Amino acid sequence: MDLKTSYYRRSGIREGAFGLAIALEPNLRRDRVSYRGQLKSPLRFREAISALHEVVVSDLKFHPRDKSAYEAWKREEQAQEQSIRKAATDAKKTELHSQARPAIRPGLEEDYARLRKEYWEARLKYSRFLQRTDPEIWRKLVPCDPVITVAPDCLFFECFSSDESSYGCLTVNRDAFENERDVSLGTTNVDYTWDLYEHFQTLRSYRQTTFEIDPGGFEVQTESAGQHREEKIDLPNSWLRGFLQLQSAMTLPMRTVSIGKEGLYNLLAYLKRHRAAKSPRAIRFELNGGQAPQVFLEPWNQKVPCDSRPWPGNRNESIRVWGRDRLQVLSRLLPLADDVHVGLLGTGLPSFWMVTMGEMRFVLGLSGWTANDWTSSGALDQLMPPVEVREATLAQIAVAFQASPLQTFASIVSQTQLPESTVAAGLNRLALLGQVIHDLPARQYRWRQVMPTPLTSQQVGEDHPETLAARSLLSSNQVQLTRNEATPNGMRLLEGRAGGSQAELLIDGDGRIVRGRCKCSHHFKNGLRKGPCRHLQALRQSASAITRPDNLDSWYASFGNS
């Protein structure tokens, strides 16, 4: 998807006669959004926005060892051989260039899709190199600038990590500012530079700090276009889909567990001092109705002291979530935190860590695994509404936000006169299309368009074809699991038949496929390098025993004890 941005100038912190001014430059290609106000507590804002920065630059995917020095030595050793081959290579190039260009052949679009994927893989590899050697140039490769929304009651900043696994949202109440002026409500992208982060660190309590989303660019956009900085960003489908999947997951009813700031500190401190050598590397929540929740770190089975407030649920559950290394971005918020809650959807599904800090709130959303890959997509799909919501229903829910962009679930039900299950499914769909965001700490829904124009289902895209085919095999009862047993080293061995193909796989304690064997063409060509084939995915999902409700009412009732 192409995203066009235009900025009048760079964002930055500028010194004035009375102190510092944080000037964020809005995207001129979106509706006018502006705001000016003086921060009452610059230091608190500095720490919170710095934590959001850590989410933007977060990339915890596996990176191989840096062998650049060794490769340089190899090149020197091969210099003599290359000089001998050079003459023959140049002659061949001349011959090839002299040949007539072939006519456009069938299958060009398929080749384009394949080469485009190769391009993005090379770009991400180059991005990791620049992150180590030149942070300023690397920042230009971050797919999308953060999104800021000026709402009637607050300002909130949203971002998505470069490894497509972490979502961050910082909400600042409007009463954290004084002397407000030039207020234009709406949502826009803001220019975000590495220097701006460095300037944030210069904020001090003894200097007056003015926060502004500079409206000047909108006032001069009729002048020479040369004064604007134009950018055209080709958003990867995986980035956009991952961002919106976490958004839609936030609208689902979830178990909210209080762990307190002491619990978060104990969790981060233990993880800072210890590193697991084997799977599973999960955080396990033991929830018993009317009792204080218990939190354990695997594989040590270490109990983490947490808040003693009882969990209000009425059923006993054990939920395991992953992505705990990414929680370190919250450590900078510990001195500001008043309370900490965790929103849980289920084992292996996204989790949402909510930190309240007086006039500010921070939400960190973590996908099931660091890589937004094949392991948890099927499980997350099981939580989505089982039927497609009608366009008329979505329009009816959208009308409810015209009176106020901030609504509670009960108020939407009251205005639309729709069943609760239909409203829940509609809000989930609108979030997936980038129209609605669920403010988890406030338990309210906000109308917010993440892109300049409403997104369509085609732009959001579908899952990988092998994943879609695996779901089809499961729904048509073409999967037969013949072996499901634990191994002495903590792995799990699965064997069975899916869609007429015999397959077997080995999964670790984190539910990831370690090894697999299948006779289909996809596995024969690619192995696990491009994700497991449909047969391996179908066997793994069959072993997880996830059942999908068949109608909206049963789907909504499944969250009744959340």
**pLDDT tens-digit map of 441-495:** 888 999 888 776 666 666 666 667 787 788 788 888 888 889 888 888 778 899 9
pLDDT reported for residue 217: 46
Question: Which range (20-29, 191-200, 248-257, 292-301) has the least confidence?
Answer: 20-29
pLDDT reported for residue 411: 92
**In angstroms, rounded to a whole number, what is the distance separating the alpha carbons of residues 451 and 457?**
14
pLDDT reported for residue 562: 44
Residue 295 has pLDDT above 90, yes or no: yes
* CATH 1.10.10.10 domain range(s) in the chain: 391-461
Beta-bridge partners for 479: 498
Position 378 confidence tier, pLDDT thresholds 50, 70, 90: very low
Q: Which CATH class is domain 391-461?
A: mainly alpha
Structure tokens at 103: 């006519």
- Which CATH number applies to 245-381: 3.10.150.10, 1.10.10.10, 3.40.190.10, 3.30.365.10? 3.10.150.10
Residue 348 has pLDDT above 70, yes or no: yes
| H or E element, residue 130 | helix 108-133
Neighbours of 177 (CB within 10 A): 19
Position 380 confidence tier, pLDDT thresholds 50, 70, 90: low
pLDDT reported for residue 452: 66
Cα–Cα distances in Å, from 542 out to 483, 504, 515?
11, 13, 17
Position 375 confidence tier, pLDDT thresholds 50, 70, 90: very low
Spatial contact of 211 and 37, defined as CB atoms under 8 Å apart: yes
**pLDDT tens-digit map of 69-110:** 888 888 888 888 888 888 888 888 887 777 766 666 788 878
End-to-end CA distance of the chain: 36
pLDDT reported for residue 2: 52
pLDDT reported for residue 29: 56
Residue 221 has pLDDT above 50, yes or no: no
pLDDT reported for residue 331: 92
pLDDT reported for residue 376: 45
Q: Tally the C-alpha atoms within 13 A of residue 402's C-alpha that lie toward its C-beta.
A: 8
What mean pLDDT comes out for the span 553-557?
Answer: 75
In whole angstroms, how large is the CA radius of gyration of the chain?
26
pLDDT reported for residue 228: 44
**pLDDT tens-digit map of 406-442:** 899 999 999 999 988 889 889 988 888 888 899 998 8
Q: Indicate if the alpha-carbon torsion angle 556, 557, 560, 562 is positive or negative.
A: negative
pLDDT reported for residue 226: 43
**pLDDT tens-digit map of 136-188:** 565 555 545 678 888 888 988 888 887 777 888 999 999 988 888 888 888 88
